[in-house]
């Protein structure tokens, strides 16, 4: 756990001179799951884009695998990304296999056909979709579709996995199932995961670290379950709404 996969050191990001992220520092290590929470417009997606290298900070330093992601295609290939779940028509023409294979585009060189097929099958098996690998993705349930998209992000065996609202639009049991799967993948593969979520109750129980973002960031390395055992008295940042949310759902 000493190796650092992603490092942000006092990072500031702005759009047209308007500061969106201010003095943000955090580290993601192998086998670690960081949950990112915060209100809409707080800068969570900006944080993702900065790590990927799509946005450059106006101040501070971003490193992924020790390099600047904005200037290193190799580093960007080491990142698996799961965007918010799209709405797929039942007539969408691609199979689960086709969707997972898309995760290899531009990320592998000189991969033989046999190796390609094995990687796709391994990814489908990791998310529990091997029996459905030839099924049109539009025929799957919402939860199954999201698992197929997760397999697409995992198929190239990335060092870092970024998830943007991975359970948006899913019902609570399916959300819980998805996060259990994510925890299994985290522990078995050693991939470092950073997941943005509005599902505070779920993400705070599976994450090793929780980062509360609202322009700046507060990093909580203690599990939130421990914080709430003390009725939130140890919780010392501006996001008391999270404590209130968890308190309402505890009873």
pLDDT tens-digit series, residues 43-61: 999 999 999 999 999 999 9
pLDDT on residue 169:
83
Strands 18-28 and 59-64 turn out to be unpaired
Residue 97 lies in a domain: yes
pLDDT on residue 230:
45
Rounded average pLDDT over 218-237: 56
Task: Kindly state whether residues 191 and 71 are assigned to the same domain.
Answer: yes
- pLDDT at residue 226 above 70? no
Q: Tokens 């417009």 identify what position?
A: 41
- pLDDT at residue 131 above 90? yes
Task: Kindly state whether residues 62 and 95 are assigned to the same domain.
Answer: no
Rounded average pLDDT over 108-121: 73
- Among the three residues 105, 138, 157, which one is the final residue of a domain in this structure? 157
Residue 243 lies in a domain: yes
- Among the three residues 157, 185, 204, which one is the final residue of a domain in this structure? 157
pLDDT digits (tens, 9 = 90+) for 142-199: 899 999 999 999 999 999 999 999 888 888 888 888 988 998 998 888 899 999 988 7
Residue 151 lies in a domain: yes
pLDDT on residue 86:
66
pLDDT on residue 200:
78
Q: How many domains are contained in the chain? A: 2
CA distance 149 to 147: 5
CB 192 within 8 A of CB 31: yes
CA distance 250 to 228: 10
Confidence of residue 90 (pLDDT cuts 50, 70, 90): low
Per cent of the chain over pLDDT 70 is 81
Rounded average pLDDT over 210-220: 89
Q: Which long-range contacts (CB under 8 A, 24 or more apart) does 28-31 make?
A: 28/4, 28/160, 28/192, 28/193, 28/194, 29/1, 29/2, 29/3, 29/4, 29/5, 29/192, 30/1, 30/3, 30/5, 30/159, 30/190, 30/191, 30/192, 31/1, 31/186, 31/187, 31/190, 31/191, 31/192
Residue 163 lies in a domain: yes
Task: Kindly state whether residues 136 and 32 are assigned to the same domain.
Answer: no
pLDDT on residue 243:
44
Q: Which DSSP letter does residue 86 get?
A: P
Rounded average pLDDT over 204-232: 73
Residue 84 lies in a domain: no
pLDDT on residue 208:
87
Task: Kindly state whether residues 143 and 195 are assigned to the same domain.
Answer: no
- pLDDT at residue 136 above 70? yes
Confidence of residue 36 (pLDDT cuts 50, 70, 90): very high
Phi, psi of 90 (to 5 degrees): -60, -15
Task: Kindly state whether residues 178 and 243 are assigned to the same domain.
Answer: yes
CA angle (93, 99, 102) in 5-degree steps: 125
pLDDT on residue 235:
40
109 versus 33: which is more confidently predicted? 33
- Among the three residues 157, 175, 204, which one is the final residue of a domain in this structure? 157
Task: Kindly state whether residues 173 and 239 are assigned to the same domain.
Answer: yes
Confidence of residue 16 (pLDDT cuts 50, 70, 90): confident
Name the residue range of residue 128's domain.
89-157
- pLDDT at residue 130 above 90? yes
pLDDT on residue 234:
41
Task: Kindly state whether residues 13 and 72 are assigned to the same domain.
Answer: yes
40-50 as b/e: b if 16+ CB within 10 A: eebbbbbbbeb
């Amino acid at each position: 756990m000493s190796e650092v996969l992603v490092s942000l050191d006092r990072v500031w990001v702005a759009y047209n001179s308007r500061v969106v992220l201010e003095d943000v520092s955090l580290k993601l290590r192998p086998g670690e799951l960081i949950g990112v929470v915060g209100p809409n417009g707080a800068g969570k997606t900006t944080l993702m884009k900065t790590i990927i290298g799509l946005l450059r900070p106006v101040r501070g330093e971003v490193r992924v695998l020790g390099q600047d992601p904005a200037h290193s295609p190799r580093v960007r290939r080491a990142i698996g990304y799961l965007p918010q779940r799209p709405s797929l028509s039942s007539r969408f023409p691609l199979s689960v296999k086709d969707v997972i294979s898309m995760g290899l585009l531009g990320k592998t060189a000189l991969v033989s056909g046999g190796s390609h097929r094995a990687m796709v099958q391994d990814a489908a098996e990791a998310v529990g979709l091997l029996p459905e690998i030839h099924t049109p993705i539009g025929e799957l349930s919402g939860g199954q579709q999201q698992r197929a998209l997760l397999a697409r992000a995992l198929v190239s065996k990335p060092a870092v996995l970024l998830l943007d609202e991975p359970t948006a639009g899913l019902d609570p049991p399916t959300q819980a199932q998805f996060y259990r799967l994510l925890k299994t993948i985290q522990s078995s593969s050693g991939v470092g995961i950073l997941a943005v979520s509005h599902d505070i109750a779920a993400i705070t129980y599976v994450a090793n670290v929780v980062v509360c973002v609202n322009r700046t960031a507060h990093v909580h390395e203690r599990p939130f379950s421990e914080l709430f055992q003390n009725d939130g008295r140890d919780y010392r940042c501006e996001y008391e709404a999270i404590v209130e949310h968890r308190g309402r759902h505890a009873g």
